[in-house]
Chain A
Amino acid sequence: MDDVLLDIKNLSICYSTEDGEVHALNNADLTLHRGESLGLVGETGAGKTTLARGVMRLIPNPPGKVVGGEIFYDGRDLLKLSEADMRRIRGREISMIFQDPMTSLNPVMTVGDQILEVINVHHPDLPRHEARKKAEEMMEMVGITSSRYEDYPHQFSGGMKQRVVIAIALACSPKMLIADEPTTALDVTIQAQVLEMIRDLKEKNNTSMLLITHDLGVVAQNCDRVAIIYSGEIVEYGTLHQIYKETLHPYTEGLFGSIPNLTSNIKRLAAIDGMMPDPTALPAGCKFADRCKYATDRCRTEHPRLLEREDGHKVRCIRYESSGEVTENG
């Protein structure tokens, strides 16, 4: 498995609050291959952002804490690196695009200088004028004229700010990009532009991407593989085709059921009943059992393992345990 860039194994992250331990991420397994895009889909509070922050080692501590697991990036366990080594990886090897471009730029620094900053941090020996030239190139690359180098973030629109954020993220040609809901704060036309740009730049630099979103349409357009996360667990993982056409997990089924269809004329969409379980008191059995229409008594008492089918399609559901075509894994 040489083409694996990021391999997350059994990652668990907890936040301790006054109401008790919040189990935000429980034994998550995830694999990202070189040059591929992986979509991480789940509803609010499922642990998507926690996973992204975990990979960057940016879990605010306190209250957050990585309880266990390993994150192998290019063969190295990120959780075992020193803080100084980790700083060299952030921005240069792994970059992150944040959800809200309105707040992820420093309001008192010119946008150009903010792009320059990341170049300076990782290439301190580069002469100033060259670094600046590079920063201007990055601006042009994301479609902003370099004459706006000296402008401040508040003079830019939301879409333009997100481009600046993307320019910052890609300035050091990272091998991996984590995009945490990069288009949630933007309107639909700008969303399409930004996503197209991310896709173009990603292909140009052969960057791998972890795209976090709750928009299945965005995933369908941009990703090669998909992981569905529910209540801090990966419940289904497979290629785009496997997830969209050979859906296994009832939760994924529910997600697709709640998307409007262009061709059929339905008055009401099928929602998944109920709420995600309280992360401070997770049920002993399957986390989805209470909302699942196939749930049996066994689901409520026994925690399902992540089963891998021969074609690499993984699912965490008891229903597929008995069928002969699965091999056990973790």
Chain B
Amino acid sequence: MNKKTDTPAAGKKQRSLWQEAWRRFKKNKIAMVGLVFLLILIVIAISTQVIDLATHNQFYLSHVVKQNLKDRLQPPSAAHPFGLDEFGRDMLLRMLWGVRYSLFMGTLAIVVSCIIGGVLGAISGYYGKQIDNVIMRFMDILLAIPSMLLAIAIVAAFGTSLTNVLLAIAISYIPTFARTVRASVLTVKDQEFIEAARAIGCNDATIILQYILPNAMAPIIVQGTLGIAGAILSIAGLSFLGLGIQPPTPEWGAMLSNARTYIRDAWHVTVIPGLGIMLTILALNLMGDGLRDALDPRLKN
């Protein structure tokens, strides 16, 4: 009876969950393209920040913000590959400097709303009954207000600043996360292995964190990456309306908004920031899909 019934696994290398996930992620070429693109953006965002710190904003002020009206709306050329914008500023530099606003603020807003919404959703899905009712009805109220309108209201009430824009975006995304997490918790929580976990004496926190959430991860990751894309669009949208990041900060949405009057005379001033936003969002979605598949051990091998 005590003979070893399993096949020899001696030659097999033992890998941790994350190594395993990375190995699977690497196989997904399209997801890798998304990841590489995002890594490039992150490197750009960090290096522009470093340049600003090293030159005490001098480079930023003299090249990114300083206007040069005589050369305005110049089309792309060898000296200025992305052309010049409506105030004669180099579009390439402005695009590079704008990365950190779109990407980091979008990510930060989603991380905040994912944590808050995730906790609320997990609690209401797991405990149910009255707590569920209270939390979900409150989420319904938030959800009933269009997210853009809610963000506009928050920014209008507290004033336009980076933190307020961030907060506005984060709050408007909380209900979506709460609902997604609650729904996935509900599908997982009645499965037998949850009861088995309870039968070995796990407490509620362990059950939620170790058993329920890892099994409910897939929709949360997808929602998260889609959410970052949406948040970038919302930030761009707020800037477009003049409520987000204020000029002359080179935020992509604001650039798009300011340039829209020139679309007939100079295509590049609108197309380039638009493409930037689109490609970033595409990369995020591709990576999100890959991540979801890679993190599911059931799809192993």
8 A Cβ contacts from B50-90 to A: none
Q: A95 at the A/B interface (Cβ < 8 Å)?
A: yes
Of the 9-residue stretches B167-175, B258-266, B292-300, which lies at the interface with chain A? B292-300
8 A Cβ contacts from B1-53 to A: 1-6, 9-10, 12, 14-17
Question: What residues of A have a CB within 8 angstroms of the CB of B297 in the complex?
Answer: 107-108, 152, 154
Q: What residue of chain B has the Cβ atom nearest to residue A86's Cβ?
A: B201
Provide the bound-state CA to CA distance between A107 and B12, in Å.
21
From A92, A109, A197, give the contact of B201 (CB < 8 A).
A92
In the complex, are the beta carbons of B15 and A150 less than 8 A apart? Answer: yes
Question: What residues of A have a CB within 8 angstroms of the CB of B215 in the complex?
Answer: 106-108
Provide the bound-state CA to CA distance between A122 and B15, in Å.
27
Q: A25 at the A/B interface (Cβ < 8 Å)?
A: no
8 A Cβ contacts from B97-148 to A: none
Of B10, B200, B203, most A-chain CB atoms within 10 Å: B200
When A87-B203, A103-B191 are in contact, do A143 and B2 touch as well, CB less than 8 Å? yes
The size bracket of the interface on B is 35 or more
In the complex, are the beta carbons of B199 and A58 less than 8 A apart? Answer: yes
Q: A96 at the A/B interface (Cβ < 8 Å)?
A: yes
8 A Cβ contacts from B240-285 to A: none
Of A89, A100, A155, most B-chain CB atoms within 10 Å: A155
Number of interchain pairs (Cβ within 8 Å): 107
Question: What residues of B have a CB within 8 angstroms of the CB of A56 in the complex?
Answer: 199
Of the 9-residue stretches B154-162, B206-214, B222-230, which lies at the interface with chain A? B206-214
In the complex, are the beta carbons of A91 and B199 less than 8 A apart? Answer: yes
For the complex formed, measure the closest distance between the CB of B201 and the CB atoms of chain A, giving whole angstroms: 4
Q: A223 at the A/B interface (Cβ < 8 Å)?
A: no
8 A Cβ contacts from B192-209 to A: 192-193, 195-203, 206
Provide the bound-state CA to CA distance between A98 and B211, in Å.
17
8 A Cβ contacts from A144-165 to B: 144-145, 147-152, 154-155, 159-160, 165
In the complex, are the beta carbons of A106 and B197 less than 8 A apart? Answer: yes
Q: A327 at the A/B interface (Cβ < 8 Å)?
A: no
8 A Cβ contacts from A237-253 to B: none
For the complex formed, measure the closest distance between the CB of B105 and the CB atoms of chain A, giving whole angstroms: 32
For the complex formed, measure the closest distance between the CB of B216 and the CB atoms of chain A, giving whole angstroms: 10
Provide the bound-state CA to CA distance between A69 and B12, in Å.
54
Binding site for A on B (CB under 8 A): 1-6, 9-10, 12, 14-17, 191-193, 195-203, 206, 210-211, 214-215, 217, 296-298, 300
Binding site for B on A (CB under 8 A): 56, 58, 87-92, 95-96, 98-100, 103-110, 117-118, 121-122, 143-145, 147-152, 154-155, 159-160, 165, 168-169, 193, 196-197, 200
